[in-house]
Amino acid sequence: QDIEVLRRIVLKTNWSIEGIPTVLTMYRINPNSVSSNFDKKVKIWQQLFSKTYVLNPELLAPYKSISKAYELKYLARRAIRLRHGFAALQLICQSLQSNWKIVLEEPKTVLAIALAAGTLCLMPSPLYVRLETVGMTLKA
């Protein structure tokens, strides 16, 4: 719903939208929400992009593959938070298939997601949680 509002603002007003580099709100992850149903989330994104694309194809055509890649990368991160290793691995691979240039734009993030997804698939859950805790401590 948030993205739908932003889409309408961008397409129907002369307002500009800018990012804010800090977190202003926190939200909990509900494992039963649409946000955790990755296939459904990808379909919703595709529907939203298609609706938007019809309104201004010249503007959006150059960004289709890269925006899809970033959406899939975001979903891979969500899958990792929910401990869905195989879903995360599949999503990050789909992200790279959509547009591999995200590796050039965000090499550390893409590599971290791929490594976390692979590790989550291969390690027993308790060991992964311990490794993640150590990793977060080192990052801080």
Question: 92 versus 37: which is more confidently predicted?
Answer: 92
- For position 19, what pLDDT does the model report? 78
Question: 75 versus 6: which is more confidently predicted?
Answer: 75
CA pair distance 73, 113, nearest whole angstrom:
8
7, 52 Cβ separation under 8 angstroms: yes
Return the domain boundaries, the chain: 37-139
Interval 26-39: pLDDT, tens: 655 555 554 568 88
CA pair distance 19, 118, nearest whole angstrom:
30
- Report the mean per-residue pLDDT for the chain: 85
- Number of neighbours of residue 84 by Cβ within 10 angstroms: 20
